[in-house]
Structure 1
Amino acid sequence: MNFRFQNLLGAPYRGGNAVISGDSLLLSPTGNRIVATDLIHSRSITFPFEAASDLSRLAVSDDGRLLFAADSTDKGRVFLISVLSRAVLHRTTFKKPVSAARFSPDGAFIAVGLGKLIQIWRCPGFKKEFFPFHLERTFADFSATVTSFDWSPDSNFLLAGSKDLTMRLLSLKGKRSENKPFLFLGHREPIVGAFFSLDKKTGTSNRAYSVSRDGAIFTWDLVENMDVDSDHVSPDTEDQNLDADGDDNNLIIKFESPTRKRKQMEEDEPSKLPWRLRKKDFFMQAPARLTACDYHRELDMVVVGFSNGVFGLYQMPDFVCLHLLSISREKITTAAFNRAGNWLLFGCAKLGQLLVWEWRSESYVLKQQGHYFDVNCVAYSPDSQLLATGADDNKVKVWTVSSGFCFITFSEHTNAVTAVHFMANNHSLLSASLDGTVRAWDLFRYRNFRTFTTPSPRQFVSLAADQSGEVICAGTLDSFEIFVWSMKTGRLLDVLSGHEGPVHGLMFSPINAVLASSSWDKTVRLWDVFEGKGSIETFTHNHDVLTVVYRPDGKQLACSTLDGLIHFWDPLDGVLMYTIEGRRDISGGRRMTDRRSAANSAGRYFTSLCYSADGSFILAGGNSRFVCMYDVAEQVLIKRFQITHNLSLDGVLDFLNSKNMTEAGPLDLIDDTDSDIEDGIDTQTRGKLGQNLPGSMQNRGRPVARTKCLRIAPTGRSWAAATTEGVLLYSVDDSFVFDPTDLDMDVTPEKVEEALADDQKQRALLLSLRLNEDSLIKKCIFAVSPLDVPAVCSSVPFKYLQRLIEAFADLLESCPHLEFILQWCQELCKVHGHYIQRNSRALLPALKSLQKAITKLHQDLADTCSSNEYLLRYLCSSGTKV
Structure 2
Amino acid sequence: MNFRFQNLLGAPYRGGNVVVSEDSLLSPVGNRVAVTDLVKSQTLTLPFEATSNISRIAVSPDGNFLLAVDDASRALFVNLRRRAVIHHITFKKLVTALRFSPNGSFIAVGLGKLLQVWRSPGFRKEFFPFELVRTFSDCAAAVTSLDWSPDSNYLLVGSKDLAVRLFFVKKTKDRSKPFLFLGHRESVVGVYFCTETKTNRVCRVYTIARDGAIFTWNLIDSSTTDDFEGHISDPPSPGTPEQRNPLGDTDENNEALDSRKRNRKSLEDIDADGVVFPLHQMKWELLKKDFFMQAPARLTTCDYHRELDMVVVGFSNGVFGLYQMPDFVCIHQLSISRQKITTAVFNKLGNWLTFGCAKLGQLLVWEWRSESYILKQQGHYFDVNCITFSPDSQMLATGADDNKVKVWTVSSGFCFITFSEHTNAVTAVHFLANNHCLLSASLDGTVRAWDLFRYRNFKTFTTPSPRQFVSLAADQSGEVICAGTIDSFEIFVWSMKTGRLLDILSGHEGPVHGLMFSPMNAILASSSWDKTVRLWDVFEGKGVVETFPHSHDVLAVVYRPDGRQLACSTLDGQIHFWDPIDGVLMCTIEGRRDIAGGRLMTDRRSVATSSSGKYFTTLCYSADGSYILAAGRSKYICMYDVADQVLLRRFQITRNRSLDGVLDFLNSKRMTDAGPIDLIDDDNSDVDEGIDQQTRGNLGQGLPGSLPNHGRPIVCTKSLKIAPTGRSWAAATTEGVLMYSIDEAFIFDPTDLDIDVTHEAVDCALKEAQHQRALLLSLRLNEDTLIKRCICAVKPADIPVIASSIPFKYLQRIIEAFSDLLENSPHLEFVLYWCQELCKAHGNFIQQNSRSLLPALSSLQKSITKLHQDLMDTCSSNEYLLQYLCSSAAKID
Structures share fold, TM-score greater than 0.5: yes
Structure 2 equivalent of residue 46 of structure 1:
45
Question: Which residue is equivalent to 1:658?
Answer: 668
Q: Which residue of 1 aligns with 2:426?
A: 417
**Following TM superposition, by how much is the alpha carbon of 1:734 offset from its aligned partner in structure 2, in angstroms?**
7.1
Indicate whether 1:719 and 2:729 are aligned. Answer: yes
1:201 paired to 2:198: yes
* Distance (whole Å) between structure 1 residues aligned to residue 229 and residue 670 of structure 2: 70
Aligned pair in 2 of structure 1 residues 734, 289: CA closer, same or farther (>3 Å)? Answer: closer
Contact map agreement 2:440 2:447 (CA 8 A) in 1: yes
The verdict on how the C-alpha distance between 1:817 and 1:567 changes in structure 2, with shifts beyond 3 A counting, is closer
- Name whichever of 215-224 and 616-625 sits farther off: 215-224
Paired residue secondary structure (2:202): coil
Q: CA deviation at 1:255?
A: 12
1:333 aligns with 2:342: yes
- What CA RMSD, in Å, does the superposition of the two structures yield over aligned residues? 3.2
Out of 474, 478, 496, the residue aligned to residue 487 of structure 2 is: 478
Q: Is the partner of 2:739 in helix, strand or coil?
A: strand
Shift of 1:62: 1.3
Q: Which residue type is aligned with residue 15 of structure 1?
A: G
Instruction: Indicate the percent of aligned positions where both proteins have the same amino acid.
Output: 73
Secondary structure of 2:440's match?
strand
* Displacement after TM superposition at 1:453 (Å): 0.1
CA displacement at 1:661 relative to structure 2? 2.1
Specify the alignment match of 1:213 in structure 2: 210
Please tell me whether the aligned partners of residues 694 and 713 of structure 2 are also in contact (alpha carbons under 8 angstroms): no
Change (3 A) 1:435 1:645: same
Kindly state the Cα deviation for residue 65 of structure 1 after the two structures are TM-superposed. Answer: 1.1
Q: Displacement, 1:95?
A: 1.5
Matched, 1:583 2:592: yes
TM-score normalised over the length of structure 2 = 0.79
Secondary structure of the 1:549 match is strand
Is the contact made by 1:5 and 1:728 (CA closer than 8 Å) also made in structure 2?
yes
- The correspondence for 2:514, drawn from 495, 505, 510, is 505
Q: Describe the shift of the 1:550–1:178 C-alpha distance in structure 2 as closer, same or farther (beyond 3 A).
A: same
Are the counterparts in 2 of residues 372 and 685 from structure 1 also a CA contact under 8 Å? Answer: no
Which residue of the partner structure matches residue 668 of structure 1? 678
Paired AA for residue 719 in structure 1 = W
Offset from partner CA, 1:712-758 (integer Å, 9 cap, x none)? 000000000000000000000379xxxxxxxxxxxxxxxxxxxx9xx
Q: 1:325, 1:84 → 2: CA distance?
A: 36
Question: Does residue 1:440 correspond to 2:438, yes or no?
Answer: no
**What per-residue deviation string (whole Å, max 9, x for no partner) do you get for residues 272-307 of structure 1?**
111010000000000000001000000000000000
Instruction: Kindly state the Cα deviation for residue 690 of structure 1 after the two structures are TM-superposed.
Output: 5.5
| Local SS of the residue matching 1:683 | coil
Equivalent in the alignment of 1:355? 364
What's 2:570 paired with?
561
- Kept in 2: contact 1:14–1:682 (CA 8 A): no
1:445-844 superposed matches below 5 A? 445-601=454-610, 602-681=612-691, 683-689=693-699, 701-733=711-743, 777=787, 780-781=790-791, 814-815=809-810
TM-score (norm 1): 0.80
Alpha-carbon offset, residue 683 of structure 1: 3.3
**Aligned residue pairs, count:** 742
**Equivalent-residue separation in structure 2 for 1:224 and 1:573 (angstroms):** 94
Deviation string, structure 1 residues 129-184 (Cα, Å, up to 9, x no partner): 00110111111100001011111111111111011101111112351642210000
Distance 1:92 1:276 in 2: 40
Is 1:13 the equivalent of 2:27?
Answer: no
Letter in 2 for 1:12: P
Distance in 1 between residues matched to 2:672 and 2:545, nearest whole Å: 56
Q: How far apart, in 2, do the equivalents of 1:732 and 1:414 lie?
A: 38
> How much has 1:662 moved relative to structure 2?
2.7
Name the CA distance, whole Å, in 2 between partners of 1:524 and 1:255. 90
Give 3-state SS (helix, strand or coil) of 2:86's partner: strand
Unaligned runs of 5+ in 1: 235-251, 693-697, 736-755, 789-810, 819-882
Matched AA of 2:18: A
CA distance in 2, matches of 1:677, 1:399: 31
What are the Cα deviations for residues 98-131 of structure 1, in whole angstroms up to 9, with x where unaligned? 1111111111111011110111111101111001
1:706 maps to a residue whose letter is C
Shift in CA distance, 176/506, structure 1 to aligned 2, threshold 3 Å? farther
Q: 1:162 aligns with which of 159, 163, 186?
A: 159
Measured after TM superposition, the shift of residue 702 of structure 1 is 1.4
Read off the aligned partner of 1:207 and give its amino acid letter: R
> Contact 1:68 / 1:80 at 8 angstroms: preserved in 2?
yes
5 Å-filtered alignment, 1:213-232, equals: 213-224=210-221
Does residue 57 of the first structure (1) align with residue 64 of the second (2)?
no
Deviation, structure 1 residue 270? 3.1
Q: Deviations over 1:671-725 (max 9, x none)?
A: 2444454521163553345689xxxxx9652101100000000000000000000
Letter in 1 for 2:5: F
Shift of 1:659: 2.2
1:48 and 1:120 map into 2 onto residues whose CA distance is 28
| Separation in 2, partners of 1:372, 1:647 | 20
Please give the per-residue CA displacement for 1:417-472, whole angstroms capped at 9, x wherever unaligned.
Answer: 00000000000000000000000000000000000000000000000000000000
* 8 Å contact from structure 2 (residues 459, 499) kept in 1: yes
Q: CA deviation at 1:206?
A: 1.0
CA deviation vs aligned residue, 1:12-37 (integer Å, no higher than 9, x gap): 01100011012x10000000000000
The question of whether the paired residues in 2 share the 8 Å contact of 1:174 and 1:268 is answered with no
Aligned-partner Cα distance in 2 for 1:776–1:270: 71
From the superposition, tell whether residues 498 and 168 of structure 1 become closer, same or farther in structure 2 (CA, over 3 Å). Answer: same
Partner residue in 2 for 1:284: 293
Q: Which residue of 2 aligns with 1:66?
A: 65
Query: Could you tell me which amino acid in structure 2 is paired with residue 10 of structure 1?
Result: G
Q: 1:633 to 1:645 in 2, by over 3 A?
A: same
Query: Which SS does the other structure have where 1:585 is aligned?
Result: helix
- Indicate conservation of the 8 Å contact 1:31/1:682, yes or no: no
Helix, strand or coil at the partner of 1:445: coil
In the alignment, the residues of structure 2 paired with residue 261 and residue 607 of structure 1 have an alpha-carbon distance, to the nearest angstrom, of 69
Cα deviation, 1:355-401, whole Å, max 9, x if unaligned, reads: 00000000000000000000000000000000000000000000000
Work out the CA distance in 1 between the residues paired with 2:426 and 2:229.
Answer: 85
Q: What is the CA–CA distance in structure 2 between the aligned matches of 1:642 and 1:106, rounded to whole Å?
A: 39
Uncovered stretches (5+) of structure 2, i.e. residues with no partner? 232-257, 703-707, 746-765, 799-805, 814-893
Residues 262 and 123 from structure 1, CA distance in 2 versus in 1: closer, same or farther, beyond 3 angstroms? closer
Deviation at 1:650, TM superposition (A): 0.5
Cα separation, 2, equivalents of 1:776 and 1:61? 46
CA separation in 2, counterparts of 1:611 and 1:813?
34
